[in-house]
Structure 1
Amino acid sequence: MMRIAALAALLLLVACGRQPGVVFHEAADPASLADWGVLTRDGAMLRLSEGVMPYELATPLFTDHASKLRTIWMPQGKTAAYNADKALDFPVGTIISKTFYYPLDAEGRAIAAHGPAQLAGNALDVSRVRLVETRLLVRRQAGWIALPYAWNAEGTEAKLKRTGGVQAITLAPHGEEPGGDFAYVIPNATQCGSCHVPDAQTKAMSPIGPTARSLDIASPFLAGAPNQLKAMADGGRLSGLPAAPTHLRNVDWTDAAQPLEARTRAYLDTNCGHCHSATGPARTSGLHLDAAATNPRALGLCKPPVAAGQGTGDRLFDIVPGQPDKSILLYRMQSVKPNEMMPEIGRTTAHAEGVALVGSWIAAMKGQCHAGG
C-alpha cells in the first residue's frame, strides 16, 4: 500500500507539471544531476527547486572566466552553524552546488562576465548560455564528498564524470584579454580534494567558499538586498550569528572604491588561501595568503621559496617590494604551464585582471630585499 501511495503522489506531481524537489542520497551517487533535484532544466530555464538558496561571494574564485551559479540546500528544520574563521558548519544532508557556465555572444563565443548569476525569480535563463559543469558537495554521515557532473553539448542534462573531462571553449576578447580558444578542464573527483581539504592534518573534505567573511554581503538574489548572513539567520538557516560579527570581511576585488590592500587580500584569500594557510596543503611553503595572515614574511615579502623548482622563473623572492616583475607570486599567476602555474588546478588561462591587481599591490610596496632573504 505504501508503494502504491508513493507512486500515486509522484504521478500527481507529474500531472500538475511540478518537480518532486530535492532528493538527498546518503549512499548512492546518481549518474544524473537531475536525480538530486537541486536544479532542473525546464525549456530555456535552469530552475532551482523549492528550498534551494542561491548565494554569492564577496570575491569569487577565478575559473577561466566562467560565470557561476552557487546554491545551498539543507534539510527542513536543519541549520548551519556560524564559524568566524572557516566555512559555515553545515548539517548532514546539505547539498552545495556550483554550476559553471558562459553567456554567449552573437557569434557563439563565451563571454567573460563579472558579477552574480542573473536569476529571474528562481531560474537562470540558459537560452544563450553554454552550460559546462555542475559540481556538488554533499554532506553525508561520514563527511563531505565531491561529485562533478558534466553537461552535454545541448545543455539539457548533466552526467556524473568521476574522471573529469575537457571541453573546448572559444572566449570572446574583452578588456586586456585577447580571447581565443582554450581547453576548459573539469576536475576529476580526486582533484576536488586538492582544494577542498583546507586542513592537511585531518585531510577532511570541506566547503571553502561559503565562509562568513565571503558571505557577509548584500544578497543580489533577495528582494531588498538584505545581508546574506542575516537573511540566513532570520530565515532559520543559520545559528550562532553574533550581533557584532567576529569574522574578518572580504571586499569585492573589483570595487575600485575599496583600498588596494583590501581588494588584493580578498583576491588572494579566495584564490590561494585555502591551500596557502597555516593549516592548508601548502603550509610547508611558508607562504600564507589567507585572510588571517598578517606577518609580512609569511605573506611573501622578501621570502625565498622553499621548493618551487621551475616555478620560480629564476626569481629569488616570493614578493619583491616595488618590483612585481621580479616577484615569484606574480610569475606563477601569469604562467599557464602545469609545473609552474598557481593555482595549479582550476584554470588553464591566466587572469589578466587579477594579475594586474596583485601587480599594483606589489608595486605600491616600499622596501627592498637583500640576498639571503
Structure 2
Amino acid sequence: MLFQFKKIVVLLVLTLVFSSCEKDDSISPVVTPEVVAEFKANLSELNLFSGNLNQLIITEKAFEYNINTTLFSDYAHKQRIIALPTGTSLQFNGDGLPIFPDNTVIAKTFFYNSDERDLSLGKTIIETRILIKINDNWETGNYVWNETQTDAILDTEGSTVPITWIDTDGNPNPTSYKIPSSTDCFTCHSNSDRILPIGPKLRSMNFNINGVNQLEQFISNQQLSGVASSSSVRSLPNWEDTSLSLETRARAYMDVNCAHCHIPGGTCADQSTLNLAFETTLEDSNILDQIALIDYRTSFYLEGISMPFIGTSMRHTEGLDLVQSYLNTLN
C-alpha cells in the first residue's frame, strides 16, 4: 500500500515537471522590433538600438558601415548604421550612392571619448543625425542627446555644445561642437535641390576592415545586390595613407570634405566653378584657376569665411595642411 502511494506521488511530480517544461516551450521568443522609418520625438522610439541606448548596440534589424576617408567633424568619433526594410537590399548603381529602398533609415551618431588613453572612462554622445527615405525623397532630422545620456530629442534649431576631451598625448581639448540646424543639413546634403546622403557611396565603403572587404561582406549578407564582387567598384583612397601620392591623398580629402557642395548641382555650384569630386581630372576640377583662393580659405578658421563653410568650429590641421602642401606643388 505504501509502495503504491509512493508510486502515485512520483507520477504526480513527473506530471508537474513535464507540464512545466511544456509551458516553458510555449513561451514566445523575444522578437526584435522593426526600425521605425519616421521622425518620432525621441530617438529611442526609432528602435535603432538594443538595450541601454547609450551603449549604442545596433539592432539586429540594421548594420554598421564605415568609410575609408572620413569627413572632419571637430575630431568627433562617429558610428554609422543603415536600416533597410525587411527583405530589401541596397541596389548597385555604379561607384557612387547605391539605390536605397523607400523607408531606409541612415543614422550617424557623434561622440567623444572622455580620455583617448583609457576608453573605459566612457564617452559623451552629442547627437544622432538621421536620414529617412520617404516616397523616393530623403528627409533629415537631428536628435540631441540629453545630459543623462539616456535618450536624444528631435531638434531642428541647431545649437553649440561645449565639451572637453583628452587626446592620446594627455592634452585637454576644449571644443565648441556645433549641432547643425535643418538649414545646415540641407546646405550640405542638397544637390539640384534634392537631399542626398553624403557618406555611403560604394567607392567610399570599398575597403578592408580587419582583413575583410566591407562590400564583400554586404554582398554575402544580401545587404547589397546587383553586383557580384567588390572588384567591380572603384575605391576612394584613404587620405591618411602616406604610401599614396600627395595628389591622391589631397584629392581624396577634398572629395569627402568639400565635394558635396563643390560639384555640379551642389550648394556652391552657383558661386564657384570648382568640381572637387575625386574622379574629376585636375584640368576639369578648376583647382588650377583657384589655387590662391582655396589656399587662403583653408589657411585659418573664421566662421562664414573659411572652408569648410559649416560643420566645424576649428581648422583641421592635418587635413588642411595636406591640401595646402598639394596646392604648393601646383604653383
TM-score, normalisation: structure 1 = 0.74
- Sort the Cα spacing of 1:41 and 1:364 in 2 relative to 1 into closer, same or farther, 3 A: farther
- Sort the Cα spacing of 1:179 and 1:331 in 2 relative to 1 into closer, same or farther, 3 A: farther
Q: 2:35, 2:46 within 8 Å by CA — same for their partners in 1?
A: yes
Note the alpha carbon deviations across 1:328-367, whole angstroms, 9 max, x for none: 21322233222212121110111000112112212333xx
CA distance in 2, matches of 1:98, 1:360: 31
Aligned to 1:194: 187
Instruction: Identify the range of structure 1 (67-76 vs 125-134) with the bigger mean alpha-carbon deviation.
Output: 125-134
Percent identical = 31
Aligned to 1:49: 59
2:214 aligned with 1:214, yes or no? no
Q: 2:113, 2:122 within 8 Å by CA — same for their partners in 1?
A: yes
Aligned to 2:109: 99
2:147 aligned with 1:182, yes or no? no
- Choose the corresponding residue for 1:300, options 264, 287, 303: 287
TM-score, normalisation: structure 2 = 0.83
Aligned to 1:169: 163
2:134 aligned with 1:140, yes or no? yes
Note the alpha carbon deviations across 1:46-97, whole angstroms, 9 max, x for none: 2110131111101010001100000111011101111224311110111111
CA distance in 2, matches of 1:37, 1:244: 30
- Sort the Cα spacing of 1:178 and 1:364 in 2 relative to 1 into closer, same or farther, 3 A: farther
SS of residue paired to 1:267:
helix
SS of residue paired to 2:174:
strand
Q: 2:104, 2:133 within 8 Å by CA — same for their partners in 1?
A: yes
CA distance in 2, matches of 1:347, 1:248: 29
- Sort the Cα spacing of 1:330 and 1:40 in 2 relative to 1 into closer, same or farther, 3 A: farther
CA distance in 2, matches of 1:101, 1:364: 36
Letter of the 1:362 partner, please give it.
L
- Sort the Cα spacing of 1:136 and 1:169 in 2 relative to 1 into closer, same or farther, 3 A: same
2:257 aligned with 1:271, yes or no? yes
- Sort the Cα spacing of 1:21 and 1:259 in 2 relative to 1 into closer, same or farther, 3 A: farther
Aligned to 1:150: 144
Aligned to 1:25: 37
Letter of the 1:147 partner, please give it.
G
Letter of the 2:101 partner, please give it.
P
Aligned to 1:371: none
SS of residue paired to 2:132:
strand
Q: 1:104, 1:129 within 8 Å by CA — same for their partners in 2?
A: yes
Q: 1:81, 1:90 within 8 Å by CA — same for their partners in 2?
A: yes
Structure 1 stretches lacking a partner, 5+ long: 1-11, 106-110, 114-124, 304-317, 320-326, 369-373
SS of residue paired to 2:219:
helix
Q: 1:58, 1:216 within 8 Å by CA — same for their partners in 2?
A: yes
Q: How many residues align?
A: 303
- Sort the Cα spacing of 1:364 and 1:130 in 2 relative to 1 into closer, same or farther, 3 A: same
Q: 1:334, 1:351 within 8 Å by CA — same for their partners in 2?
A: no
- Choose the corresponding residue for 2:154, options 153, 160, 170: 160
Letter of the 2:287 partner, please give it.
G
Q: Which has the larger radius of gyration?
A: 2
Aligned to 1:283: 269
Letter of the 1:212 partner, please give it.
L
Q: 2:219, 2:228 within 8 Å by CA — same for their partners in 1?
A: no
Instruction: Please provide the CA RMSD for this pair.
Output: 2.6
Note the alpha carbon deviations across 1:272-318, whole angstroms, 9 max, x for none: 011111232222311111112114363411x1xxxxxxxxxxxxxx2
